[in-house]
Amino acid sequence: MSEQSADSAKPAPLAGIRVLDLSRVLAGPFCSMILGDLGAEVVKIERPGIGDETRQWGPPFWHHLSAYYLSCNRNKYSVVLNLGVPAGRDIFFRLLQRADVLLDNFLPGSLERLHLRRDDIFRVNPHIIWCSITGYGKTGPLANTPGYDFALQAMSGLMSITGPPEGPPYKVGVAITDVLGGLYAAIAILACLQARQSGGHGYTIELALLDCVVAAQVNVAQAYLVTGQVPPRQGNAHLQIVPYQLFATADGYLVLAVGNDEQWRRFCQACGRLDLASDPRFRTNPDRVQHRRELLAELEPLLRGRTTAQWQALLSAAEVPHSPVLDYAQLFQHPQAQARGLKLTVRDPTGREVDLLNTPFRIQETALPPFRFPPDLGQDTEHVLRTWLGCDDQDLTQWQSGGAFS
């Protein structure tokens, strides 16, 4: 249980909000996990016998659940539902009547082929906030193309600016387009929940992962729009700030992140090179960007002259932004990570302990819900149908005989 849930008398920010999540893999589940972390009741609708593909995306596995699935499915309920049969669609529409948010990541036309048309959805619930996430959007020549993170990183320009200056372009180490899409989706849903309080009507959110990752390239993409010049890859350096990059030290690596001219002067003073601060080639950031090569010729041997620990002590005293490069083992052992609770030790339904990533939300004036372990496939089907729909044993038997679930 997370520390935020200690005061159960205070409702979570999204307490009382119900989410039907038809999405799978990462972008949609990441979005619904955010809503669940904030107190929404999230019901994950999964295909019978298969469920979310990420359940099997391993190794590694925690017993039968993949690490991938565990990373983005906490604080949810799992309901197995066959939307391809009338009984399954009947349950879906009854659940939809009681939901506030509907989330999906189907290709355009897929829901219609399941006889789940837009008009029917808003007829059943005119107040629903429906967020649909696709790879490339519902318009344009790529509308029917499945959205895979690696392909989207390639097309979006992100890979063109990632990696060493020489050699092939690189992808970001995680599926960043999906994570960005999930964040944008959550923001849009929260905005529409707020707007619905005064407007009273539902909203349709159409979100493309391509749009999200392009928008998230902020200053680098904007630099192209301003100049018409394609920016070169900078490796571990910054296109518009110098020195703001990775340097080799005597025993490892260190990120030096000098963000303004005052920090630059403090750096030069701390390492005994005030001549660099007064050099007209390096006095201001535009000067340093213009004379990047000359400056690096001075800084690279300078940084190699001390160990990483020595630089950390020196730069911390001078209040110059920096960081060593940590791997996950070093990160989760770091006092800052422990103070912030970046990992959470929980028990699965059988009582076995496992460390999972924690939610980043820390809200002092309210309580977030107790941690709910990522669910097994369909483990909550009966519970949700009874609590949401008030059904009885006869209803469950009838729906099961109709093929809605097994």
Give catalytic residue positions: 178
Residues in Cβ contact with 48 at an 8 Å cutoff, skipping those fewer than 6 apart = 80, 81, 82, 378, 405, 406
Helix or strand or coil: residue 239?
Answer: coil
Tell me the C-alpha distance between 242 and 247, whole Å.
12
Cross-strand partners of 20: 43, 102
Residues in Cβ contact with 398 at an 8 Å cutoff, skipping those fewer than 6 apart = 87
Is the distance from CB of 370 to CB of 394 less than 8 angstroms? no
For 56-120, the DSSP string reads: G--SSEETTEEHHHHHT--S-EEEE--TTSHHHHHHHHHHHHT-SEEEE-PPTTHHHHTT--HHH
**Is the previous residue joined to 243 through a cis bond, with omega within 30 degrees of 0?**
yes
Number of residues assigned to the chain: 406
Residues in Cβ contact with 23 at an 8 Å cutoff, skipping those fewer than 6 apart = 29, 31, 32, 103, 104, 105, 133
Tell me the C-alpha distance between 254 and 249, whole Å.
7
Is the distance from CB of 17 to CB of 166 less than 8 angstroms? no
Is the distance from CB of 405 to CB of 378 less than 8 angstroms? yes
Helix or strand or coil: residue 143?
Answer: coil
Annotate 31-68 with b (16+ C-beta within 10 A) or e (fewer). bbbbbbbbbbbbbbbbbbeebbebbeeeeeebeebbbb
Q: Residue 387 corresponds to which tokens in the numbers above?
A: 């609590």
Tally Cβ neighbours within 10 Å of residue 354: 15
CA 109 to chain centre: 26
Tell me the C-alpha distance between 25 and 134, whole Å.
12
